[in-house]
A = this chain, B = another copy of it.
């Protein structure tokens, strides 16, 4: 049994944006040599998230961010003095971590699924940790 740790470093370029990190996650899993097990992708931040969704039409991503801002409006009644409570709350709704199966040395993803980093209070330098845990080839 082996555990492989890696980081994905991002520099986001807008206040709210989603970044497709699927290829980077896949590259880490393949390079780890682990054949079967689990892969955790986790955000190290409290105003960002990790999620799976469609990677074909970019309108899906802009619709998601727009609806999140309707659910948690900037103009809401919040106490947190830093002024970014909506980003913290959206982070909880989106979630901070996703786990994928690793099979035959690759991530298991559905045909239309991509792994996304959600920037909710950018632009900033960000880190997602990727942890691959399982059995390597003998």
Contacts and interface: CB of A to CB of B under 8 A. Distances in A.
A131 B85 contact: no
A79 B63 contact: yes
A88 B135 contact: no
A46 B72 CA distance: 22
A99 B57 contact: no
A19 interface: no
Nearest to A91: B53
A71 interface: yes
Nearest to A35: B3
B80 A63 contact: yes
A101 B53 contact: no
Contact of A51 (B5, B71, B79, B96): B96
